[in-house]
Amino acid sequence: MRFLIIISIIAIYAQSCPAQVEGNDCNNPIIININDIYDLPIVIDNQTCGQGNDISNSCLGYYDEGEDIVFQINTAIDLTLAVMLYPHGTERTGFYLDTECPFNNEEDSECLKSHTTFQGVPHGTTLFEADPGTYYLIIDTWPGPECIPSFTLILDNYWISPGMCILPMPVTLPRSEPYNSVFYTTGEGNTFNNTCLGEFDEGEDMVYMLDVRHPGTVTCQIDPLGEPNSSMHLLLDCTPPGDPLDCIAYSIDSLGQSHGLSVHLDPGAYYLNMDTKEPQGIMTAFLNIEFEPDYLCGDANGDGAVNISDAVRIINYVFIGGDAPDPLESGDVNCDHEVNVSDAVWIVNYVFIGGAIPGDINSDGWPEC
């Protein structure tokens, strides 16, 4: 009888104190030890679903409101710590590095390093001069989705060169002015060599990511400044060495003249790869990217501007069955996939008190919808 009582007490205690999941909070992190340079790279596949929302007041802002996972990195060596996160298509992911866990946003202005992205694409950053010691890495999400069902984390000791798939040069669209950039591919390596460009993908290349947040038409133009055999192609999947079937549009030139492409795109992440025909790369060239959105977020009456008349249009539509915003998506100012009075309030705040631009739900200066 005494044995049965003991077993019952143990069972009740086990139910009231569920087992801790490794990585679910700062008291139970996943331990990563780096004792030698040959321990790197470290590749970890995991998820945040089921880990709980332990971190909710960090440098990530809105990106720390989903379920999160905590890593404790113990390094015995000096290194330049590169952190790369592959979210496997999950949108609105972020991570940060700090020497304390949890990070207290009320006491500190910023953590050591952080990175977020609205699209479900690979992203990363580098912590220079990481001295021997303990660091905490927290991976988190926006409140919708609530968690990351699958991700791959890579830790290494090098600077991620901008222009690679893991850290492409970002271009947010739409934007208030054309994107203009001087670029080169010499020294960047030949990443893509099996694309729709054929022999024009055999040189060194550089990758841009077009973060398209409205449906619209993108026009990309290269001026190679007389340098022959330049090329570019637009693709969905930034996976070297490339696949001709992933090609959305392309442009090539053998004479050193300006050339480009123009294509209509739906919201999403697209990659623009700059390449060449010969084994070497492009020394210097100009890139111009322009975008013509199908509509302006908040411009409910379609007159090309956002003002109080757009708020009136939404209010009439919601309360008295007036004309709907044209298109309907233009009235979804807070990106919740509905048109209601909260969208009109957003426009009023934007017009009269300098609130965030329509659609800018993460305060980065660009619309998310």
Percent of residues, the chain, with pLDDT higher than 90 = 49
Give me the pLDDT at residue 161, please. Answer: 67
What's the token pair of residue 270?
A: 């697209």
| Cis amide prior to 102 (ω within 30 degrees) | yes
Complete DSSP assignment for 70-122: EEEEEESS-EEEEEEEE-TT-SSEEEEEESSSS--TTT-S--SEEEEESSSS-
Question: Which tens digit of pLDDT belongs to each residue from 56-68?
Answer: 888 888 898 999 9
Give me the pLDDT at residue 9, please. Answer: 39
Class of domain 19-157: mainly beta
Q: Where is mean pLDDT largest: 12-21, 96-105, 171-180, 257-266?
A: 257-266
Q: Are 124 and 83 in contact (CB under 8 A)?
A: yes
Give me the pLDDT at residue 160, please. Answer: 60
**Confidence band, pLDDT 50/70/90 cuts, at residue 177:** confident
Question: Which tens digit of pLDDT belongs to each residue from 213-267?
Answer: 889 999 999 999 888 999 999 999 888 899 999 999 999 999 999 999 999 999 8
- State the chain's mean pLDDT as an integer: 86
What is the mean predicted confidence (pLDDT) over 116-144?
Answer: 87
pLDDT of 351 above 70: yes
Q: How far apart are CA 55 and CA 68, in angstroms?
A: 7
What's the token pair of residue 190?
A: 């030949």
- Neighbouring C-beta atoms of residue 338, cutoff 10 Å: 12
Which residue spans of the chain are classified as CATH 1.10.1330.10? 295-369
**Confidence band, pLDDT 50/70/90 cuts, at residue 109:** low
**Confidence band, pLDDT 50/70/90 cuts, at residue 123:** confident
Give me the pLDDT at residue 1, please. Answer: 47
Q: How far is CA 254 from the centre of its chain?
A: 34
> For the whole prediction, is pTM greater than 0.75?
no
> Is the model more confident about 17 or about 167?
167
> What CATH number belongs to 169-293?
2.60.120.380
pLDDT of 176 above 80: no
Give me the pLDDT at residue 107, please. Answer: 52
Class of domain 295-369: mainly alpha
Give me the pLDDT at residue 216, please. Answer: 93
What's the token pair of residue 61?
A: 């802002």
What's the token pair of residue 103?
A: 């990070």
**Confidence band, pLDDT 50/70/90 cuts, at residue 359:** confident
- The pairing of beta strand 179-183 with beta strand 69-75: unpaired
Give me the pLDDT at residue 159, please. Answer: 58
Which residue spans of the chain are classified as CATH 2.60.120.380? 19-157, 169-293
3-state SS assignment for residue 258: coil
- Give the residue from 357, 294, 305 showing the smallest Cα distance to 327: 294
**Confidence band, pLDDT 50/70/90 cuts, at residue 11:** very low
- Give the residue from 185, 193, 139, 195 showing the smallest Cα distance to 162: 185
Question: Which tens digit of pLDDT belongs to each residue from 67-108?
Answer: 999 999 999 999 888 888 888 889 899 999 999 998 776 654
Q: How far apart are CA 252 and CA 259, in angstroms?
A: 7
> Is the model more confident about 41 or about 149?
149
What is the mean predicted confidence (pLDDT) over 117-140?
Answer: 88
